[in-house]
Structure formats: structure tokens, C-alpha cells
Amino acid sequence: MSGAASKGPLEGLKVVELAAIGPVPFAAMVLSDLGAEVVRIDRPGETRTDPRDITCRGRAARVGLDLKNADDVALARRIIGKADVLIEGFRPGVLERLGLAPDDLMADNPGLIVTRVTGWGQQGPLSARAGHDLTYIALSGALHAIGPADRPIPPLNLVGDYGGGGMLALVGLLSALFERAKSGRGQVVDAAMTDGSSLLMAFVYGLKAMGQWQDARETNMLDGAAHFYTTYRCRDGRFLAVGPIEPQFHAAFAKVMGVEDFGPDQHDATRWPERRAALQEIFLTRDRDDWVATFEGLDVCVAPVLAMEEVRDHPHNAARGTFAEVDGVVQPAAAPRFGRTPGGIKSGEGNAEAVLSGWGVDAEVAGAFGGQG
């Protein structure tokens, strides 16, 4: 499925993306899916998108510029001068050293939203230090809370790069655009993964403040300690996710499993280890999909843990079109859904000269990219 015919709610929004990794291309991908026209400024010679590189999908055009070359920097500045949003992921100070300082860019283009995505933020003792998702979420408390009792484990790079970085950048730049509609002025958005992953932990910090969360892994209801909120291995080696927290769901689950006596003191944490062990033995007697069939139609909050190869064909995902296939590559479809202005995945890239001419970049500059895209 392709949403190429859909305009999306961000139709008309012009975005410049300075090539980076992680949260920057992810944020640009989401903006493109929602209708924005995204021009990616890449290194010279890197102006073709591999269709398997999913977060780089949907760019209107890609142009190769050497940002250490004064003429190319001048061209980049003129392109950015026509944009609504700039997204970049350099370390603090790099944009300034390249001659693309936000103050100068906003002097050219007063309505520009400069979205700066970093690990540590634009200021602070660690702002210039190297890092990755894992080190950023280590400072927020998120990493400490995830994993078995004996050690924290990396939760992929979803908490820092994509949730704490990319999603925070999207909220920030869209908020700045909303404010610009009133003031007419752009601004800098400082989206730090340490800040974003801390923000994602707000609920857990709230539980801790209320005395409902222990600062130790695998001792809490939501971190795998409870017999009613964890995963279980089945006979075929595949897993089920089990999460009947509410009493009515827990009662229905316990009935199916033949452990109705687990109900009255469901939240007695001292009983959780033995009950997890008992349920694990029961789940090992049947294959995963046999259990799925057993729970079918019941409100018990149980679901199969699907491998990536399985997700597209699950009936719910298939009915909603949660996954799409573009150029032979299965990938997540555009989200969220809109009633009047649906977004969609844009396939292929346009000619850079044509795209930039449409932005109002003069023919001389646009012509420099005539062979690209």
C-alpha cells in the first residue's frame, strides 16, 4: 500500500533535514508521511536512497553538499532560507562552526523553526560529550528500571533515539509552528534525549513518589515481577504476553488457567515468584498458537509475542493496514490516522531542481542540483 495520492495534514510544510542518524531521519520520515515536503541535505555522492533504509523514505529530494565548503554552505543557507523547519543532529556548536548558526539562519528567515536533536542537549556539562541512546537513557533513570533483577538491559534504541529524541523533536517543532502562527516568529527547539527519556518516565516517577514503585528491577507490577504482567515461554519456544491487571480480567485469565485461587490476593508481591513459576509450567504444556486459540474472544489481556516476520499477517494488523510494502520492503505504515487529511508513504524522490524551484529557490541555485534526485 502506498499513500502517494494522500496529501496529509502537513501539506505545504517545507522541511530541510541535515543528514544524520537515529532521531533526525525518523522525525523527517514522520513529517513526510504526514504531508510535509522534506529536502534532505546529504554528503556529496550520497544522494540515492536505499529502499531498505525505512526511516529515509518519502523525501521530496536529496541534494549532496559539502558543508565544509564555503560555496556549498552558502547554497545550503539559501535553501534553508525558504524552509519552515530545519532539523539537525550535530553536536552543539557544529552548526555554528559550519557557518549555519541558528541566529544567522533566522535573520535570513525569521519564521524558521530550528530543531536541534542531541543526546545531552545544547547546554550542560556533558553537552559536547560523545554518547549513544544507551548512555543518554542511563542518566534519566529509564535504563535502571528496565531488565531482570541482576542487570539493566538495552531496550533497543526506542527510549532515547526515537521516543526521547525523535518524538520529542516532533512535538517541539509542531508546537513551535503553532506558536509561529500567532507571533510570526521562529525559534530554536532544543530536543535532548536525556530530557525526552526522563519525560517518558513521568508515570514511573509518579508511582515512586506515591510509594508504589521500588527502585529495584523485577520487584514491581509493571517490570516483570508480577505473575499477571510478564511473558511466558510456551512448548514451541515462542512466547505469550500476559497482562490481566484488573481484577475482572485476572479472574477470567485465572479460570482458563485453572488457578482461581490466585485471585483473592492477586497483588501480594510475596506470592508472585511462586505463581510465575506455576504458570510457566502450565504454559509449557502447549504451543503458543494453541494458547492464543484458547484465549480467543476473551477479555484476558493476553497476546502472542510476534516475531517481526509475523506481524504483517496478524489479522488485526492486516485489517488496519498497520504495515505496508513499498518497493518490496515491508515497513510500518504512516501513523497516526486522520479522518479528513490522511497521510501516507511517499514513494520515490523528485528531481531536486524542480523541487527547489517550487520552493522559490532561484534557478541558479536549483540548477546546481539538476542532476540529482
Active site residues per annotation: 132, 161
Angle formed by the axes of helices 193-200 and 168-183, nearest 10°: 100
- Are 366 and 63 a contacting pair, CB within 8 Å? no
130: buried, middle or exposed (CB in 10 Å: 19+, 13-18, 0-12)?
exposed
How many residues belong to the chain?
373
What span, in angstroms and rounded, lies between the C-alpha atoms of 313 and 372?
Answer: 37
Query: In 3-state terms, what secondary structure has residue 366?
Result: helix
C-alpha cell at 264: 483473592
Write out the chain in H/E/C secondary structure. Answer: CCCCCCCCCCCCCEEEEECCCCHHHHHHHHHHHCCCEEEEEECCCCCCCCCCCHHHCCCCEEEECCCCCHHHHHHHHHHHCCCCEEEECCCCCHHHHCCCCHHHHHHHCCCCEEEEEECCCCCCCCCCCCCCHHHHHHCCCCHHHCCCCCCCCCCCCHHHHHHHHHHHHHHHHHHHHHHHHHHCCCEEEEEEHHHHHHHHCHHHHHHHHCCCCCCCCCCCCCCCCCCCCEEEECCCCCEEEECCCCHHHHHHHHHHHCCHHHCCCCCCHHHHHHHHHHHHHHHCCCCHHHHHHHHCCCCCCEEECCCCCCHHHCHHHHHHCCEEEECCEEEECCCCCCCCCCCCCCCCCCCHHHHHHHHCCCHHHHHCCCCCC
Query: Position 159: which residue type?
Result: V
